[in-house]
A and B are shown apart, each in its own frame.
Chain A
Amino acid sequence: MTRTGSTCDLPRCSTCRLPSVRHADSHGLTAEALATLAPDLGGFRLVFANGHLVAELSTMPDPGSGVTVASLASVLATDPDRLEPLFAGRTAPADGMAALNLALADDGAFIHLATGAHADAPIHVVFCTTDVGHPVLASTHSLVVADPDSSATVVETHIGVGPLAGAACANAVTRVVLAPQATVHHYTVQDLPDTAFHLGVVDVIADHDSTFTAHTLSLGAAIARHEVRVHLDGDGADATVTGLYQPAGNQYHDHPVLVEHNTTNCTSRQIYNGVLDDHGHGVFNGRIMVAPAGMGTDATQSNRNLVLSDRAEVDTRPRLEILADDVKCAHGATVGQLDETAVHYLRTRGIPEPAARGMLTYAFATEMVDRIGPPALRAWAAQLVADRLGAVLGDDGPPPDANPDAGTGTGTGTGTGTGSVHTEEVTP
């Protein structure tokens, strides 16, 4: 992929709208309120309220260490040359919201991992929407730059202090640039109030032998569109893009996913599960693109949906576009309900039907929660998923996993058909 051009929107925009003290207040977000909304993951933390850094709630490493965790605005103010190469030479964004983000964003997270640096604990970036008495569009532009052989886990959480007086829209773009052999695990937990709007993009460029994972939990918001785009530009790069969406009520959760295999021997997998209730509408729009140079590609894509209500709607579009021949690509998608034989089995063991259904639903959802690495994050995610499924689980539903390392382990029997992903080569 060539990325030419010389648009440099962010610095230009920022010269007309430099972050000021006015922006740097806490928007009413207190440490106590934050503690109830997001867990302490034990590492560095950046907290943004309506798109602006709340310094007193953030913890940042000492300058000069291998790991930089700072606000983009502060880097722009003190060391703009550091950002120049990350913005210069980029083509203009293809979609309107990304362009608007580039034009309007004046802050975001800046995470830089120097060569060989390893961040031990997850770096937590909290985007919080608070009530400011009027509609608000929070545009943030974050960067994660991983130099060769570095590694880190980055957790982005989108939360809100409800109720929100006006329409609140978060338009968050995160760009991840991986140098050779770098590793970044990126998590997005979106648990905004059900009146908010969320537009998120995670755009990743991966150089050779780098490893990237993106894990998305879409739980909140009225309308949420969380997009993940991974460009595998170096030989042997690997990407895992997974997610869980749980639209209920009148929620709409949209998940465009693109993985581009632009060169040889890259591997990728996409795994998304959806649980749809009430009038919820879930969309998975996944794409694998294999360029003519993408020889030796091994890519898979799986999307499974559990529909709990007659009014819910699910659209799934797992797409493959392949322009090379030495590839192995497979995808599978299923839409279905709980396995009635599994429900029956549990009932024969004396478990009431609502509880049996709740257990199986919870097990289906937590398959994706179990993929979360950091234990504190996994425990919190399990709690959020259980809370959201509350109506389904009923009073007798299983408690969220107290011991996250044990896992729920009920992968089978939650099934929605047998849409397994076939990865074998063609057998005549």
Chain B
Amino acid sequence: MTPPSNEVTELAEREYQHGFVTDIETEVIPKGLDEDVVRLISSKKNEPEWLLEWRLAAYRHWVTMSEPTWQKAHYPSIDFQDIAYWAAPKPKPKLNSLDEVDPELREMFDKLGISLAEQERLSNVAVDAIVDSVSVATTFKAKLAEAGVIFCSFSEAVAEHPDLVRANLGSVVPVRDNYYAALNSAVFSDGSFCYIPAGVRCPMELSTYFRINSAQTGQFERTLIVAEEGSYVSYLEGCTAPMRDENQLHAAVVELVAHTDAQIKYATVQNWYPGDAEGRGGIYNFVTKRGKCAGDRSKISWTQVETGSAITWKYPSVVLQGDDSVGEFYSVALTAGRQQADTGTKMIHIGKNTSSTIVSKGISAAHGQNTYRGQVKVLRSAQGARNFTQCDSLLIGSDCGAHTVPYIEVKNASAQVEHEASTSKIGEDQMFYCRQRGISEEDATSMIVNGFCREVFNELPMEFAVEAQRLLSVSLEGSVG
């Protein structure tokens, strides 16, 4: 195909927009964190005074807090003064063709079934090969604008829609919420902002958009999604492709606000570097994700597929404030190698007739430790609240662990709360059945695991569901037999 030149230009511009400019890179801020660093970050981003004050309030509270240690994971303590809190994104080295890509990585792409064009984009092959995607992206952007959907980087939103940001920032995860949320609030670099006006159904799955414009994940990312009355949006972060990152600690914050009759679907596929065989060097993924069903009949749904990171520590939660609001959480968390995951959700029922569903599937293999920790809280005001929780764990190998720690607190007599969980290994009869049909042990395991996770994959956008299945198989490689 012949790439039209104007699209090449557009692409170049897009990269500029995302801050891939060398002049930023030359600036060096020493490691460490104090008020001056917070001020510096804010000034570099040309932020308004109120945002700086907000950051400083977060920082001042953060210094009074102590690092939480209650999670069921072990890791050496983090030196928060040994982190550079302002790092301009560096351009990755450009490659001329896929032949230059690490063969291991290519093998992984093939297994995941990622298209050639996308493989090139993900491994940063020179732009002219992937113009098709770019033109698609441009079309998408025009389509979104037509519908009135605002979808941009956080910095852009602060500059162009300050009132919207100010009204909603910290309204779901306050700066004092927890240690890592406070840290993020003080030093967040950038992130995404999404606003769906009243009555608008976002014309496309924002997941699709993301696949074309892979979002640069920062160390302290901030995402804010606001769905006005009667609107709908489906959002997907992350990617099934393996992500490598220099920063070991990731402390992002995601806030969702759903007004009356609005609906937000938020899906995450996370496949960050889990560390080497001994667990060295993997990413610590300590994220605060929370949605607020502010209006009546609103709905927030979290779906996550967590296969990467050395430690995953997060509880995507829903505050069910509006009457008849609905919260959902679907999760697959896989720990292999030396990975540790302590993940689950919180459903806080405040409004009348609120309902929540939790489906969690944990898979532990090799030396992985997998903990489901979830809270269902029904406050006195939540007349007629309803919760159903199911969390199942699958154990593969004798050195792994699976833990289930639900907290159910009910203060309203009309609430109905159900929790059920099971933990077991792959049935020997199932394995035998597959083996006698000539299916290898590894393939059989993969089949059974995928069946185990089907309820959650069904919640993913279709193309991701397919990739997520393959991702599980790849992540389990070497854990069987």
Contacts and interface: CB of A to CB of B under 8 A. Distances in A.
Main secondary structure of the interface of B (DSSP, over half): strand
A322 B413 contact: no
Interface string A403-424: 0000000000000111111111
Interface string B417-457: 11111111111001000000000000000011011101000
11 contacts: A310-B412, A313-B410, A318-B421, A326-B398, A330-B421, A332-B420, A334-B417, A334-B418, A419-B418, A425-B430, A428-B451
Nearest to A302: B420
Nearest to A325: B395
Contacts of B414: 310, 337
B420 A336 contact: no
A336 B394 contact: no
A135 B397 CA distance: 55
B448 to A, nearest CB: 5
Interface residues of B, number: 45
A428 B452 contact: yes
Contacts of A317: 405-408
Contacts of B407: 315, 317
Contacts of B317: none
Contacts of A419: 418-420
Contact of A323 (B401, B424, B447): B401
B421 A332 contact: yes
A198 interface: no
A312 interface: yes
A309 interface: yes
A417 B417 contact: yes
A419 B424 CA distance: 18
A319 B405 contact: yes
Nearest to B425: A325
B420 to A, nearest CB: 4
Binding site secondary structure of chain A = loop
B356 interface: no
B394 to A, nearest CB: 6
A426 B452 contact: yes
A329 B408 contact: no
A315 B409 contact: yes
Contacts of A336: 415-418
B411 interface: yes
Given A328-B424, A337-B416, A319 B404 contact: yes
Contacts of B393: 320, 322
B400 interface: yes
Contact of B398 (A320, A324, A417): A324
Contacts of A327: 395, 423-425
Nearest to B416: A336
A428 B416 contact: no
A35 B413 CA distance: 38
Contacts of A308: 413
A320 B421 contact: yes
Given A333-B408, A336-B415, A428-B430, A292 B398 contact: yes
B401 A426 contact: no
Nearest to A323: B401
A418 B403 contact: no
The 4 closest A-B pairs by CB, nearest first: A428-B451, A325-B395, A335-B417, A320-B404
Given A319-B405, A325-B400, A328-B424, A428 B447 contact: yes
B13 interface: no
A322 B412 contact: no
Nearest to A336: B416
Contacts of A310: 380, 412-414
A333 B448 CA distance: 27
Contact of B419 (A292, A314, A332): A332
A330 B398 contact: no
B177 interface: no
A218 interface: no
A420 B400 CA distance: 27
Given A325-B398, A326-B425, A331 B404 contact: yes
Contact of B448 (A330, A418, A428): A428
B395 A322 contact: yes
